[in-house]
Chain A
Amino acid sequence: MTRTIMALVLVGAGLATAPAAFAAPTSATIGMPLEPPTLDPTTGAAAAIDEVTYANIFQGLTRFAEDGSIEPDLARSWDISKDGLVYTFHLHDGVTFHDGSKMTASDVKFSLDRARGKDSANAQKELFTDIAKVEVVDPLTAKVTLSQPDGSFLFDMAWGDAQIVSEKTAAGDATHPIGTGPFEFDDWVRGDHITLKRYANYWGDPAKLETVTFRFISDPTAAFGAMMSGDLDAYPNYPAPENLQQFQGDPRFKVMVGSTEGETILAMNNGRKPFKNKKVREAVAHAIDREAIINGAYFGYGKPIGSHFAPQNPAYIDLTGLSKYDPQLSKKLLVEAGYPEGFKTTLKLPPPSYARRGGEIVAAQLRQVGIDVKIVNVEWAQWLQTVFKDKDYDLTIVSHTEPMDIGIYARDDYYFNYHSDRFKKIMAELDRTTDPEKRTELLKQAQKRIAEDYVNAFLFELPKLGVAKKNLMGLWKNSPTPANDLTEVHWRN
């Protein structure tokens, strides 16, 4: 009797492990720190939306490649008129939405008109302000006419916010997204996970995985446990840099350190005393030791920046010298600004560790020059309301992860409260310029302008710290836009 049971147990065990041992798995579970509030990238601002949907569910006319360059996506090619005003997009044939309907030029027109419309809920309306009209030439040709030349138009169309949705299903995209990508939406258990499955009628090369599960684990300790126990196959934006060494030393895992578009800044409320005074802002900038922050808050990962610009961008110039660590100079500037005894201020910190840990270091460094900083920890929802919307803050630390977002300094309604006609002039000229060399020159001027105005203290470029099982191939190392493009992801035998 005992022997029979033993045999049964052995057979059972054999059956359970056999498929795993012989065939490469066709699914992957990906860890994410935040759950998306909705799943429609064309109406929501949260980066978590794009991390699920970008290039997986939804596609645009153009798209970002892993290195940040712009590639054709749903548009296989385009013609630009001589005056730079008319873009004619030639669409791929045979593209269908996940509900089976054909994607045509009228969907392009609908998507762009909806995004730029008067009651548009799009989070990045500036991407579409230059569009004068969108016309359907034939089912596979869409013509976009701009009101003025826009050198970054193809770049703008690669954003998740500019992706193409179907008129029939757009209203339901927030909870059941229907796109044209290699994966279709399968299931969403709120608070736990989202599942995508391979879309059988995908127009391009099919995805290599059959199913993908995104699991939301924000607590770094739990994320560490989930990776170590094998529950997760990858965690592309790993929240605790201190654990990377352990993953590196473990033969089961690999660590991928790449770049993001996240400029991590100590934002100062330029509209509020004492930060209204440029000398005070300059004093703050000189009181900060970037190396200490990178080492202490991010365990050495991350590149110091001297302006609001990504170091991997070809137009980047190193301006860290303008705000080098010099507490003596900082104290002198405070005296000149009329604060010989320093002053009291508050620093609002959102949850990520770069902010919470970086904030403690910033506070300690500012205390060295006499600025008494009170730390106030806030949750994301609170941060978005009080700091971002109401502009009720003195100092805050946050990483601006949108690509090429230096234009935010030209926005009067932005939470920095920075109003500079000189900067706006540079940005306006940049919008009108299509010549790459001239654009580079203008971008350099823009970086310099805000660095010399000490709008914010620019800390470091957030690295993309990814952890994955050794055999999981094809994940993006860099993050040119918030995304987890899983089209190419597969298991190596």
Chain B
Amino acid sequence: MSVPADRTRPKRTGFLSAAVRTPAFAIGFALSAVFLLAAVVSFAWTPYDVTAMNIADKLQPPSAAHWFGTDHFGRDVFSMVMVGARASIAVALVAVGIGVAAGVPLGLAAAARRGSLLDEIIMRTNDLVFAFPALLMAIMITAIFGPGAVNAIVAIGIFNIPVFARLSRGAALSIWTRDYIMAARVAGKKAARISLEHILPNIANILVVQATIQFSLGILAEAGLAYVGLGTQPPLPSWGRMLADSQTMIAFAPYLAIFPGMAIVCTVLGLNLMGDGLRDILDPRLRRAR
């Protein structure tokens, strides 16, 4: 008996084709990619040296020579936005990395030993961290250990941990009730191995979406810390500090605030759109409905 090929094989919904059909993802990805590219390129090349001051050329409006104008020290704002992207992305990326690396195993462990003392300890500790307003805690950490990019990363990273711990515990709990998990347990697999081989792959979608959202929050947090002087330190530029510096000059040099401000808005918007789009693409229920 011959069976039509399209019935045996499920319809291929490739990631790429789905991505193109999800405009939110496409736009978000494009926006984020611009800044990611700017950050990468800034390592090799910027139009001007961002640490070089040329006071004679200070506060020039945007022109062919300086696309985004120059700041009060005569530095090229375009170059500063490029290098600023580096700081923002690096800090947010590593911070999310800390959150995932610490939060996910904790969440999985709690789910595997659900109801146990271990579960209680892990989740209540997370609640404790979660109870503090994130930015307030970041300010506290940088106030104790001194301002700087590394401490900003740690600070933002720490408040990412409970986010991922809670999310992965919740998602893992629903998977633990599935029949195939029961089968794996009957087959003698230990909880750690089940978590790694069966649970983690099945909650990866949710984690990726959340990571994208946390990434954008990380960029906002970095900008916020830099704005109050606790993030990346001079002479390296950062978007938040550029905004803070431009405050008193906004009436006669608005471009000093507009460009770093737009950079923050675009990156955060891009990452959020990308996260939304990713959820649409990766969510199996939504995929089936399509």
Contacts and interface: CB of A to CB of B under 8 A. Distances in A.
B251 A367 contact: no
Interface residues of A, number: 23
Nearest to A363: B235
Interface stretch (B47-55, B80-88, B109-117, B185-193): B47-55
Contact of A377 (B51, B56, B147): B147
Nearest to A239: B248
Nearest to A289: B55
Contacts of B74: 296
A377 B231 CA distance: 12
B235 A221 contact: no
Nearest to B244: A221
B252 interface: yes
B147 A242 contact: no
B251 A246 contact: yes
A490 to B, nearest CB: 30
Given A242-B72, A296-B74, A363 B251 contact: no
A360 B248 contact: no
B247 A296 contact: no
Given A361-B73, A375-B234, A220 B53 contact: no
B58 interface: yes
Interface in A283-329: 291-292, 295-296
Nearest to A349: B234
B53 A364 contact: yes
B82 to A, nearest CB: 19
B248 A220 contact: yes
A195 B278 CA distance: 60
B233 interface: yes
Interface residues of B, number: 20
Interface in A83-139: none
B229 interface: yes
A241 to B, nearest CB: 9
Contacts of A4: none
Given A296-B53, A296-B58, A360 B235 contact: yes
A193 to B, nearest CB: 23
Contacts of B248: 220-221, 224, 240, 242-243
A377 B235 contact: no
A360 B73 contact: yes
Contacts of B251: 243, 246
A246 B253 CA distance: 12
Interface string A357-398: 100110111010000001111000000000000000000000
B206 interface: no
A376 B248 CA distance: 22
Which residue among B53, B56, B249 has the maximum number of chain A CB atoms within 10 Å of its CB? B53
A245 B233 CA distance: 29
Query: Which among B52, B56, B74, B235 has the highest number of chain A CB atoms within 10 Å?
Result: B235
Interface string B237-251: 000000000011101
Nearest to B250: A221
Contacts of B247: 220-221
B235 A242 contact: no
B8 to A, nearest CB: 66
A375 B53 contact: no
A361 B73 CA distance: 8
Max chain B Cβ within 10 angstroms of own Cβ: one of A240, A242, A291:
A242
Contacts of B58: 295-296
Interface string A337-372: 000000000000000000001001101110100000
A375 B73 CA distance: 16
Interface string B210-247: 00000000000000000001000111000000000001
Contacts of B55: 291-292, 295-296, 361
Contacts of A357: 72-73
Contacts of B72: 242, 296, 357
A453 to B, nearest CB: 29
A201 B153 CA distance: 62
Given A240-B248, A360-B53, A367-B235, 18 more contacts: A221-B247, A221-B248, A242-B252, A243-B248, A243-B251, A296-B55, A296-B74, A357-B72, A360-B235, A361-B53, A361-B55, A361-B73, A363-B234, A364-B53, A364-B73, A375-B234, A377-B147, A377-B229
Interface of A: 220-221, 224, 240, 242-243, 245-246, 291-292, 295-296, 357, 360-361, 363-365, 367, 374-377
6 closest Cβ contacts across the A-B interface? A296-B55, A292-B55, A240-B248, A221-B247, A220-B248, A364-B53
12 contacts: A242-B249, A245-B252, A292-B55, A295-B56, A295-B58, A296-B55, A296-B58, A296-B72, A361-B73, A367-B51, A376-B146, A377-B229
